Amino acid sequence: MQYRQLGRSGLKISALNFGSVTFGGQGNFAATGKVDIAEATRMVDICVEHGVNMFDTADAYSGGEAEEILGRVLQGRSRELLVTSKVRFPTGKGPNEQGLSRHHILNACDDSLRRLGRDHIDLYYLHEWDGLTPVEETLEALQTLRDQGKIRYAGISNFAGWQAMKLLGAAERDRLIAPVSQQLYYSLEARDAEYELLPLAVDQGLGVQVWSPLACGLLTDKYRRGKTAPEDSRRISGWPEPEVRDLKKLYDTVEVLVQIAEEHSVSAARVALAWTLHKPAITSLVLGARQESQLLDNLAAASLRLTQEQVRRLDDVSAPDLIYPYWHQNRNAFDRLSKADLVLQGPAKRHREALETKK
């Protein structure tokens, strides 16, 4: 297992983490999986054997049951095993039992610690933007938690670029705890994070943990042109994420994935994970498995090395459209771009050159 430094923090985490979104299977989360305590214990054992040192959960997963199961499974294990959790989504019916207010953050953290059976959370994420709560109030609540020893680090998840910079700017101005990491959606199915979030991570020194790097199973050979997906797949079971805006591009991408997988004699899923680990700013991928065989295959991605030509093929088939102002910069500013800019513009330039060569 490879260990990577989490942003500008001193913390090193495994390139592959394990997520508990499949634990419990309560309410809407039944579509993600129904992993019980026995299955969860076996999966965590496998992860530890393969060098995974970070485990991800959230108070929203199965109404808190995922936290409870993870806490029981990790009880008595090494303190080298790190835990992330999250706050933002509703935890009750009251008007203040959601969001990023001081009231909700402090209460939600105590509830998460109780369910986890721990005295601290290693990395505490703001699970979603809250446009109604001042960022100063949110940061002051996180600062309180760190001062109390209840969290070690803070992060943000599912924020837009301007929202993340607003939070970072307020933290620096007021000398409050600043996020060290983003947890975001990024995969060959949708590379939207390359517009703002990954360049921001490079520029500001944020770590990046990727959720759903297999696009909830879309980046496997289950979903191919002219093939019916299995009835137990998340998409068929009613899980709405991620949104697929270009089905043709998805099918084209999966075809290239399968081709490269055959070249390595591995699964398409393993190739998709390996591609993501190759990309700039990525610290780790959060794996969420429902079966032991899936988990073992996904963990093997840490040792898969793709050639530059294979990475380029995947880059080209999945390339995001250059929306404004990026197409303008691509034409007029390419000699004045930073490493952060090149997260998007580098692959875009190669893709443009490839298209011109074909002409």
Catalytic positions, written as ranges: 61
Nearest by Cα to 67 from 11, 18, 24: 24
Nearest by Cα to 161 from 187, 133, 196: 196
Listed in sequence order, the residues at least 6 apart from 29 whose beta carbon sits closer than 8 Å to its beta carbon are 21, 61, 62, 66
Residue listed under structure tokens 């000398």? 175
Please report, in angstroms and rounded to a whole number, the separation of the first and last CA atoms in the chain. 43
Q: What ranges in the chain are assigned the alpha helix state H?
A: 37-49, 65-74, 102-116, 135-147, 161-174, 197-204, 234-237, 247-264, 268-278, 292-299, 308-317, 326-332, 339-358
Taking the C-alpha atoms of 18, 19, 25 and 30 in order, what is their torsion angle to the nearest 10 degrees?
-110
In Å, what is the CA distance from 61 to each residue of 99, 127, 134, 287? 16, 11, 26, 15
Cis check: omega of the bond before 179, within 30 degrees of 0: no
Listed in sequence order, the residues at least 6 apart from 264 whose beta carbon sits closer than 8 Å to its beta carbon are 270, 271, 304
13: β partners: 4
**DSSP-derived secondary structure for 165-218:** HHHHHHHHHHT-----EEEEE-BTTB-GGGTTHHHHHHHHT-EEEEE-TTGGGT
Question: Helix or strand or coil: residue 54?
Answer: strand
Tokens encoding 202: 């490079």
